[in-house]
């Protein structure tokens, strides 16, 4: 992947070329969940012992998180890709800088374990990002209720435990909204607190259940994980463990949607089918045949009917699949209404999809999609992780080729995305190309589709 600084020196960007009218078939393996692996890496700060994590996906977000942990004394041995070793025996206090926290926002979730392990933590205040404001007041209010002193100064959040025992104290916290990150931060802070903590209005996402399962293996006493009221009985000490990251439900969902959009038949595994219920229901409503056998899901699609979705916290329809699902609706018969309710700015794909010939009207985070007969390949640049996945899906169904940039977003969250699509039969190739935006005046080097590529 090429980072921004390198781009300034070198006008070459990675892009993928996709030939449209694609049909997929076969079987692919789903990787470990990015959002689980990130929080499990943070949770490994809670013990001096070795933590072994299996099924950690090789993604740029994960690599960045590992580097942040290394910067505060954590040893990580990832030579064996099957099982990485994390040891936080030499964890030390350090400011986690602004550029790091903003590069990978999940690093802010380290505040909980750092505070309960070291008695203090200092992390740069994360700003908003290209999908929304990404507020953190629920993390901070909850930590204060557990007895931490929080000060915001010079762009940093400085958290400290001021009592003699340097230990947080269990309490009843009611979250103002079921934030995934705040629930995770507060669980990780409360596991080593004195006494019992109850988190009400907690998020119920599977990644939180995965976190609690690992913490319980380490000796924590957490019950009712996966419900909106999580109970944590504080313990004095946590030991090491070995844990396997759950399969990535968002990656799984993206491939099912890609198969449906291309009227294909594929099988994905391993998955935990119950994590995908809301998507599977919508795929069935829109005309796909779904069959589940143990940890595998097969999909076969011959027609696509317009259906409506509204994103919601788990077990509702995941915001992370809203953009890919919108791409599925582009060629559906009839209208569909797609409502984003979790993030303020998660409709970045709409303009891009309209450039491909889609018919989408957007008002107040509600997209009304009128199905069209054909889409045209274009040169496009994704601007966030899931919107880039959405334009890849649309490109697979287009009448001709597309050239897609913004792979730094895709590489944050999809392991071997184009290799997996290729394995399913897609005509897709990653290459080093000139920046699309900078070369719009030049002749296209993919000569067969020259007009298309620079028409966007």
- Please give the positions annotated as active site: 129
Q: Is the Cβ–Cβ distance between 106 and 181 less than 8 Å?
A: yes
**x/- track of binding to ligand EPU for residues 115-134 (CB under 6 A):** -----------------xxx
3-class state of residue 59 by DSSP: coil
Residues 224-253 that bind ligand EPU (CB under 6 A): none
Nearest to 249 by CA among 187, 206, 215: 206
Nearer residue to ligand EPU within complex by CB, 320 or 449: 320
Residues 368-387 that bind ligand EPU (CB under 6 A): 385-386
Interacting residue with ligand EPU among 66, 135, 339, 430 (CB under 6 A): 135
* Pairing mode of beta strands 265-269, 25-29: parallel
Any contact of residue 69 with ligand EPU (CB under 6 A)?
Answer: no
Least distance in angstroms from the C-beta of 138 to ligand EPU: 3
Nearer residue to ligand EPU within complex by CB, 103 or 449: 103
Q: How many residues bind ligand EPU (CB under 6 A)?
A: 25
Residues 294-353 that bind ligand EPU (CB under 6 A): 319-320, 342-343
CA 287 to CA 278: how far, in whole Å? 15
CA 238 to CA 44: how far, in whole Å? 10
Interacting residue with ligand EPU among 47, 60, 122, 179 (CB under 6 A): 179
Least distance in angstroms from the C-beta of 328 to ligand EPU: 18
CA 198 to CA 183: how far, in whole Å? 11
Nearer residue to ligand EPU within complex by CB, 336 or 348: 348
Give the strands of the sheet with 265-269, arranged side by side: 25-29, 265-269, 296-301, 288-293
Least distance in angstroms from the C-beta of 17 to ligand EPU: 24
Interacting residue with ligand EPU among 143, 182, 211, 421 (CB under 6 A): 182
3-class state of residue 130 by DSSP: coil
3-class state of residue 63 by DSSP: helix
Least distance in angstroms from the C-beta of 312 to ligand EPU: 10
- The 8-class DSSP code of residue 112 comes to H
Which secondary-structure segment (H or E) carries 162? none
Which secondary-structure segment (H or E) carries 62? helix 60-71
CA 333 to CA 22: how far, in whole Å? 19
| Residue with the two structure tokens 């998020």 | 203
Nearer residue to ligand EPU within complex by CB, 141 or 300: 141
Any contact of residue 413 with ligand EPU (CB under 6 A)?
Answer: yes
Which secondary-structure segment (H or E) carries 370? strand 366-370
Which secondary-structure segment (H or E) carries 301? strand 296-301
Nearer residue to ligand EPU within complex by CB, 107 or 400: 107
Any contact of residue 408 with ligand EPU (CB under 6 A)?
Answer: no
Least distance in angstroms from the C-beta of 129 to ligand EPU: 8
Radius of gyration (C-alpha) of the chain in whole angstroms: 22
**x/- track of binding to ligand EPU for residues 71-110 (CB under 6 A):** -----------------------------------x----
Least distance in angstroms from the C-beta of 417 to ligand EPU: 14
Least distance in angstroms from the C-beta of 454 to ligand EPU: 30
CA angle 322, 203, 181 (to 5 degrees): 80
Residues near ligand EPU (CB under 6 A) are 35, 38, 106, 132-139, 177, 179-182, 203, 205, 319-320, 342-343, 385-386, 413
């Amino acid at each position: 992947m090429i980072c921004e600084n390198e781009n300034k020196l070198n006008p070459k960007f990675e892009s993928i070329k996709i030939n449209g009218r694609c049909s997929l078939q076969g079987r692919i393996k789903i990787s470990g969940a990015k959002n689980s692996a990130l929080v499990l890496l943070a949770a490994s700060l809670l013990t001096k012992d070795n933590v072994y994590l299996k099924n950690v996906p090789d993604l740029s977000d994960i690599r960045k998180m590992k580097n942040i942990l290394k910067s505060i004394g954590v040893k990580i041995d990832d030579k064996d890709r099957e099982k990485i070793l994390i040891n936080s025996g030499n964890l030390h206090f350090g400011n986690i800088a602004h550029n790091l926290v903003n590069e990978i926002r999940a690093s802010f979730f380290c505040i909980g374990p750092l505070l309960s392990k070291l008695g203090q933590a200092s992390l740069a205040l994360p700003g908003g990002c290209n999908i929304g404001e990404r507020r953190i007041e629920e993390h901070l209010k909850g930590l204060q209720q557990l007895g931490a002193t929080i000060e915001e100064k010079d762009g940093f959040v400085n958290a400290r435990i001021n009592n003699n025992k340097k230990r947080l104290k269990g309490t009843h916290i009611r979250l103002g909204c079921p934030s995934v990150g705040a629930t995770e931060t507060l669980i990780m802070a409360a596991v080593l607190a004195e006494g019992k903590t109850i988190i009400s209005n907690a998020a119920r996402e599977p990644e939180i259940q995965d976190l609690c399962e690992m913490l319980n293996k380490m000796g924590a006493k957490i019950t009712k994980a996966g419900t909106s009221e999580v109970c944590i009985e504080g313990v004095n000490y946590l030991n090491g463990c070995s844990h396997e990251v759950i399969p990535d439900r968002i990656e799984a969902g993206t491939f099912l949607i890609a198969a449906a959009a291309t009227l294909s038949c594929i099988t994905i595994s391993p998955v935990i089918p119950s994590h995908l219920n809301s998507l599977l229901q919508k795929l069935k409503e829109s005309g796909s045949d779904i069959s589940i056998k143990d940890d595998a899901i097969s999909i076969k699609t011959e027609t696509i009917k317009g259906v409506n979705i509204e994103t919601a916290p788990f077990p509702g329809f995941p915001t992370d699949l809203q953009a890919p699902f919108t791409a599925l609706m582009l060629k559906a018969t009839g209208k569909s209404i797609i409502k984003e309710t979790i993030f303020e700015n998660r409709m970045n794909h709409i303009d891009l999809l309209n450039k491909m010939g889609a018919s989408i009207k957007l008002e107040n985070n509600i997209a009304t999609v009128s199905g069209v007969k054909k889409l045209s390949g274009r040169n496009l640049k994704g601007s966030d992780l899931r919107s880039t996945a959405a334009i890849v899906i649309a490109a697979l169904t287009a009448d001709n080729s597309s050239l897609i940039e913004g792979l730094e977003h895709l590489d944050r969250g999809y392991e071997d995305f184009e290799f997996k699509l290729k394995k399913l039969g897609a005509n897709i190739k990653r290459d080093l190309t000139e920046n699309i935006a900078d070369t719009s005046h030049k002749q296209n080097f993919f000569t067969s589709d020259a007009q298309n590529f620079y028409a966007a």
